[in-house]
Structure 1
Amino acid sequence: MTDGHAPGAPGGPGNAHRALRDLVTAATVRIHRAGAGYALDEPGTFLGSGYFVAPEWVLTCAHVARSGEGGEVTVVYETGPGRGTSAVAGDVATTLPPHVEGVVRGSWPAPDLALVRLRESVDHDCAYVTERPVAYYEEAKVLYSGWSVVGGELRRVNGTCTVQGTLGGWSEGEQIRLGGDVLPPGVSGGPVVDPVRGEVVGVLKSQADRGLGGTCTGVEQLRSLPVPTGEVRGEDADLYQAVFRAHDRYHRDRQRHPDYDGNTWADVQGQLGARPGRAFSPFERTRLLGRLADLPPPASTGELFGILESLLGSHAAIPHPAPRAWRDGLGALYESSRQDGALELVIDYVVRVMTAERPFVDADTKSAERALWRWAWRAAESLGVRYRRQLAQRKVESLRPLLNRAEYQAEAQRARALAHGAEGAPRPYALLELEQLGWERDRYDWRVSVGRPDGEVVRLGEDKRIPLAELTGSLAAPLAEAFRQCDQPWRPAVLQVALPHQLLGLDVDAWRFAPDAPPLGAHRPVVVRCADREQLPDEGDFIDRQLPADEEQHEREARWRWIHAYGGKAEVLDCEDGLRVSVPSTESLRGLPHTTVPVLCRYGDHRFEDDPVALLRIVHGGYGVALWRRRPRQPDAVCGEFHRRVGDTIAEAGSAERLPEVVHALRVGLRAGLRETNWADGIALFYDDPSLHLPGTGDLLEAP
């Protein structure tokens, strides 16, 4: 599976090859019928194999995925050595070819590929998929992995095959013929790996009718997935781009994760001696692909063609299927680069990528462009003064329109935020106040009120000493009345939940008032407020230095006004490159810009300070808006997707006034099973308007 550009480790299977097998095994899954329940170890529910190509995405054969019923399957995977297996439901998102009539069960015409998307977010390992233009180059050995029924039991199977040639042409889904080993039933859908470069190049398709071997499909066939016909407003509009941008970001984030002590794919590729495109190391390649994945994709395949032809000449061979993503273009350069010009060619490509037309611009585009410029400049240090001078001139010429575009986007965002603020008249809201009894920690007093647009707060009901397990039953009727008084047609009112600082993490949005009812947060916007600011612990406990009450109130009001007029910017406080860190001191938080919206990624990880202390510092820092997620994570979980998505969400909301509705929409999406919202599982919004005094804490009158 190699053309000789990357010499492998000598001496046969060594430590690097064993490590490669471990990585392949960790990413390989087995596919079962939907609803298999406790019969996951029973061969009768087993359909075939597959492997994770990106977070929440499994690549397998169409004939495997479509052997289930209704486009639903169960994916069984291992979360790590010794951790046992886990199962998660998945849906067949697409197949190639997409529509097939009269197919015999268990068969599918070439290329016979399917992408399965998990219904929930789980932590798992992903394979590294090649970005090279075609999987087959010459006779070579490849590794394979999968599952099969051996002796009546489901067992892992791996082995080695040799490339014998091809079957069919590119227009009919070219397949690679394999020989040299028996491919047992069940391994269809499993990964095929180039052991020299240490990357997945194909999917096992079929076994030979007689003798050894069978066929596999190159992963490049996924480029033939349908292209969106309408306007592309975001990454999720194009399935191919969504999967492989997530793939490249995952491997970038995994490589730089400081709390991960296992081998990464780049580690093993480095041990194998791979040199991608003769231009840089696997580590550099992983970082570059991650940066390219932070950019919006090409506006079209024609746009990408134009860039490649400008670099390679009009007679350069364009592979089939045509490249579609920035990573595909980079892989195409590998086949045309000269030894003395490989790095220069890649840098020239990156510069053209940064100045290409965009189908859309998101909150991270500007920073991604700047990061790529920094990469290009550092990479050019070895290419001489003349080339660097040319690069600097191109940067000046190219950056001007980028800045103009970024400034335009910022102005447009501010205009939308101000317009929204002008239109947004005060609306009624429901208010739930909970107080934990100091002498009975498992019991609560509650009050339900309605906040009217004129500022008056009307009490509807209250009760005392209610156990936590009985709260929903006690609150059902008064909250229903509050909602009836506040809701507008097609626009449910916000529920503000005022909690003491120790309870700010309470998952009120997950409450259900009937067994078949949706979670409260999927029914309406739910935000939390701090009910005991005046009684927060003093500097002798957790806070380094308190401000006088009037100064703290002034700081709160100033921050609140700013992010509602101009929008906010996410600042993850407790996680750096996937490693849990302590939340900065309150004094440090006060020094952050007024655009800052604090975000907690590792809420629930008690290896450092308690979560209430982290939230307490945010409250004391003068912040009225913050986000966190309550979903427990493994210490080494990759969280780059959460960081990116929460940053996009806050930036795209414009005025912070929209955040309650935005978070509500995410919870509705989670309830509906929309995969693009999985990153927001367990999200909580702190939204504490300093102008809305809680009853008894301000000078507002309270109705009897």
Structure 2
Amino acid sequence: MDLVHDATVRIHRPGSGYAHDGPGGDFLGSGFFIAPSWILTCAHVAMRGEGGVVNVWFKEDRYSTELSEVPGKVVAAMPGARPQGAAAWPAPDLALIKLQRPVEHTCVYVTERSEAMLRSREIHCVGWAPSQGGGLLKRSGVCAVKGAYGASDDAEQVVRLDGDWLEPGMSGGPVVDLARGEVVGVIKSRLDNHQGGTAVGIERLRTLKVPSTPVEAEADDTYQSVFHAHDRYHADRHNSPASTERTWADAQSELSAPPGGVLGPKRRADLLGRLAEFPPPVSTRSLLALLDSLPGVHSRDHRPAPRGWRDGLGALYDTRPRDRDAPLELVLRYCMGVLAADRPFGTPSTRTAAGSLWEWVKRISEEELSRDFRQQLAMDWAAVRLRLEESRGRARAPLSKPVRYGERGYVVLELEPQGWVRDRYDWRIGVARHTGEMLPVDEDSQGSALDTLPDRLAAALTEAFRQCDEPGSPALLQVAVAPALFGLEVDRWELPSDGQPLGVVRPVVLRSSYHGPADERLARWNAMPDAGMWAEVVDCDNELRVRVPEVAHLRTLPHESVPVLCRYGSRPDPEITAGVVRVLDTGFGVALLQRRPTETDTVCKEFHRRAAEAVSDAHARDGLPLKVHELRKGVRAERTETYWSDGVALYWDDPHHPLPGSDEFLEAP
């Protein structure tokens, strides 16, 4: 229940606060984090916000009693409005709220079984409600499942609850089956002057509208995006050697009837995470066909119909085994079906996901199943691997050549610390032409504090951009600083002329005022291929912070590799800075840095996963500035699939266009 309470949130109208906590104030109801940056609640709660915008009060730190506030936008509501004349909001009465900026928070574990709530006897309801002394308090109670209004194929099926009192404001809160340790539903309504009420099963989210256009990325289908993020979240925390937090898999393993059937909670969390690395099924029909091909599985018995890989796995739990090994064999056959399935789109990571799932299948079968069964699996994998090789040969090429920033003008901002005054910096701004000529714009050698720089430099940067921007193609901004200042977030500065962060308006990259050997820099830059790169995390091993390798080891990394510093942070200590210097000494002209603060127990697998995808998607070195620019625009546009990149910086230092000496800058009037 502690895990549930940590993820349960309050939903308010925009502009609300603790001064409006009363029953008649801005409080709308409850909800809970179902996946990173996603909240599940009732439609009748979420749609009472103005223009589909709400404020969410949540617990950012599980050890703190204070709540934080973040705005959210209703992305999907089922149905989207209450029919005219209807006394209550019809079922399924569910809504998904997307946070409008990235924050740290915990998530519940959601069942993958169909009609799991109707199979529960006793459930716990959690939500926020007005307290007798004023304000709001979290409330929980125990109810019994008494049946349902509507059959399993009825779109408006709701579950009847009896038992404890459900208070006003608890609507949208989670319904938890403690016997199995999973969230199975959402509180919908209470009975006036009576105990009990109604709830909606989690599986009703499967009726969320299917995209009408082809799905070309995970984010194109909200249902798949949310549940893939949910499963990766729990797998990452279960598998992380760095995290010291108690996970859902830990708690579920101690139950008398843990979920997951023959898999058990920990194995199941791991498997669901691996399945979530794949593109979703091409369609519900294709998933049903896979389930129908398995012995003893009746896919049509599961309503609403399974829609994602996790739903298909949940459908296997209800089969009646013919012998001791049958349930586990069934799961592994299903996994092989996922490996062989058609894909709605391709991603560079699919091949890695396939290898990861096969290794899981192979390990489990070797530990527990017969040699004959293992041989059949090996034959199936050989066929799948052949298909993967063929698809790799048909890999999509970049649609167009990336912008080559060395062939057009760009803006340079150089910051240099004053040696005689602490935390004061001289600055110079110039416009670089493709000919190598540097045109000075402005400079200051009197020393400025870092927090005054955005205002102090606004006019000069605006003028510099005006000199080299082109219609529809803003110029690149290169920020030249010492490695210890790579955490300076110039990309978040806002100019009055734009009203948006610099990194959203234009590509912003880092350059270093310190460089390693010039010949090594030039050789590595020239040897980097025009297409094909991969990320190489150099300061984090198995999610544990490690020392950046010595230069001799870094030199062994292929020319296609882009170093990633997962643990740089906002204020790096001397050891971190020294690690960056070793990367520069090796001659790397391109690197990614995560500047968001991290703790020793930070779970960073999602960052590793997404950084690798971003580097691969950029196709070529010259595509990386635009790729990072797209990610920053995505964060600004509240696209949750880009939230992982909040705080990412790109070091991009072309040795063919070296920084000019200070003599040239000091010619500015």
**Letter aligned with residue 123 of structure 2:** V
Question: Given the two structures, how large is their TM-score scaled by the length of structure 2?
Answer: 0.93
Cα 1:447/1:145, change in 2 over 3 Å: same
Evaluate the alpha carbon distance shift between residue 555 and residue 42 of structure 1 in structure 2; reply closer, same or farther with a 3 A threshold: farther
Structure 1, 300-309 or 143-152: larger mean CA deviation: 143-152
2:267 counterpart residue number:
284
User: More displaced, 556-565 or 451-460?
Assistant: 556-565
Instruction: Decide whether aligned partners of structure 1 residues 330 and 337 sit closer, same or farther in structure 2, where only a CA change above 3 A counts.
Output: farther
Task: Determine whether 1:23 maps to 2:8.
Answer: no
Q: CA deviation at 1:671?
A: 3.0
Q: Trace 1:287-326 onto structure 2 (pairs within 5 A).
A: 287-312=270-295, 316-326=299-309
Percent identity, please.
47
Q: 2:176 aligns with which of 170, 178, 193?
A: 193
Q: Does 1:74 align with 2:74?
A: no
> 1:317: Cα distance to partner?
3.4
Amino acid at match of 2:155: E
Matched with 2:229 is 246
Cα deviations by residue, 1:91-148 (Å, 9 ceiling, x for unpaired) = 111111234432669x410111111111111111110000012224446111121111
CA distance in 2, matches of 1:386, 1:698: 76
Which of structures 1 and 2 has the larger relative contact order (alpha carbons within 8 angstroms, sep 6+)?
Answer: 1
Work out the CA distance in 1 between the residues paired with 2:402 and 2:39.
Answer: 43
8 Å CA contact 2:79–2:93 kept in 1: the answer is yes
Picking from 405, 429, 445, the partner of 1:448 is 429
The CA distance in 1 between the partners of 2:62 and 2:21, in whole Å, is 18
Q: Is residue 533 of structure 2 the alignment partner of residue 533 of structure 1?
A: no
98, 101, 113: which one aligns with 1:132: 113
Which among 498, 509, 513 is matched to residue 491 of structure 2? 509
3-state SS in 2 of match to 1:372? helix
1:39 counterpart SS class = helix
TM superposition shift of 1:455: 2.4
Shift of the 320–698 alpha-carbon distance from structure 1 to 2, 3 Å rule, reads farther
2:553 matched residue in structure 1: 588
Query: In structure 2, which of residues 242, 246, 250 is the aligned counterpart of residue 267 of structure 1?
Result: 250
Q: Is the 8 A contact 2:564 2:592 kept in 1?
A: yes
The offset of 1:45, in angstroms, is: 1.9
Unaligned runs of 5+ in 2: none
Equivalent residue, structure 1, for 2:143: 161
Change (3 A) 1:636 1:33: farther
Asked whether the 8 Å contact 2:403–2:623 carries over to 1, the reply is no
Does residue 679 (structure 1) correspond to residue 644 (structure 2)? The answer is yes
Amino acid at match of 2:365: A
Q: Per-residue displacement from partner, 1:193-231 (whole Å, max 9, x unpaired)?
A: 111111111011111234321111100000000111112
Q: CA deviation at 1:354?
A: 0.8
Matched, 1:398 2:363: no
Amino acid at match of 2:354: E
- Could you list the per-position Cα deviations for residues 538-589 of structure 1 after superposition, in whole angstroms to 9, with x for gaps in the alignment? xxxxxxxxxxx3xxx3432343234451232112233345433332233322
TM-score of the two chains, using structure 1 as the length reference: 0.88
Deviation per residue, 1:10-51 (Å, 9 max, x gap): xxxxxxxxxxx1111111111111110453644422111111
Shift in Å, 1:531: 1.4
When residues 36 and 180 of structure 1 are mapped into structure 2, their CA distance, relative to the original with a 3 A threshold, is same
How many angstroms does 1:188 deviate by?
Answer: 1.1
What is the Cα-based RMSD across aligned positions, in Å?
2.6
Match of 2:370 in 1: 384
| Per-residue deviation, 1:458 | 2.7
Residues 1:622 and 2:587 are matched in the alignment:
yes
- Tell me if structure 1 keeps the 8 A contact 2:142–2:164: yes
Q: Is the 8 A contact 2:297 2:319 kept in 1?
A: no
Residue 601 of structure 1 corresponds to which residue in structure 2?
566
Deviations 1:254-273 (A, max 9, x none): 11233332321111110004
Q: Pairwise mapping of residues 553-592 of structure 1 onto structure 2 (< 5 A)?
A: 553-592=518-557
Q: 1:369 to 1:157 in 2, by over 3 A?
A: same
2:401 partner SS: helix
Letter in 2 for 1:443: R
Q: Which amino acid aligns with 1:68?
A: G
Cα separation, 2, equivalents of 1:157 and 1:481? 57
Partner-residue secondary structure (3-state), 1:420:
coil
Mapped to 2, the partners of 1:682 and 1:216 lie a distance apart of: 39
- Corresponding position of 2:471: 489
| Structure 1 position 672, deviation (Å) | 3.4
1:605–1:325: structure 2 CA closer, same or farther, 3 Å change rule? same
Instruction: Tell me the residue number matched to 1:8.
Output: none
Give the secondary-structure state (helix, strand or coil) at the position aligned to 2:116: coil
- Tell me which residue corresponds to 1:334: 317
CA contact (8 A) 2:243 2:603 kept: no
Q: Secondary structure at the match of 2:159?
A: strand
Q: Which of 345, 358, 361 does residue 373 from structure 1 map onto? A: 358
* Distance in 2 of aligned mates of 1:497 and 1:305: 53
**Correspondence for 2:348:** 363
Q: Deviations over 1:283-341 (max 9, x none)?
A: 00000000000011001111101100111468653411111100000001111241520
**Residue 9 of structure 1: aligned partner:** none
Higher alpha-carbon deviation: 433-442 or 136-145: 136-145
Gaps of 5+ in 1: 1-20, 535-548
Specify whether residues 24 and 477 from structure 1 end up closer, same or farther in structure 2 by C-alpha distance, changes over 3 A only.
closer
Deviation at 1:632, TM superposition (A): 2.3
Q: 1:117 — aligned with what?
A: 98
Pair 665,40 (structure 1): closer, same or farther in 2 beyond 3 Å: farther
Structure 1 residues 396 and 259: alpha-carbon distance in aligned structure 2, compared to 1, 3 A threshold: closer
Indicate if the aligned counterparts of 2:260 and 2:268 stay in contact, CA closer than 8 A. Answer: no
- Would the alpha carbon gap of residues 425 and 154 (structure 1) be closer, same or farther in structure 2, given more than 3 Å must change? closer
C-alpha contact 1:250 1:638 (8 A) present in aligned 2: no
**SS at 2:511's partner residue?**
strand
SS at match of 1:441: coil
**238-247 or 257-266, which deviates more:** 257-266
Summarize deviations over 1:448-489 as a string: whole Å, max 9, x none.
Answer: 222212222233333212312443444333333322221111
Q: 1:60, 1:114 within 8 Å by CA — same for their partners in 2?
A: yes
SS at match of 1:493: coil
User: 3-state DSSP class of the match of 1:272?
Assistant: coil
Match of 2:69 in 1: 87
- Partner of 1:236 in structure 2? 219
Post-superposition Cα deviations, 1:359-378, rounded to whole Å, max 9, x if no partner, equal: 11112111000000101111
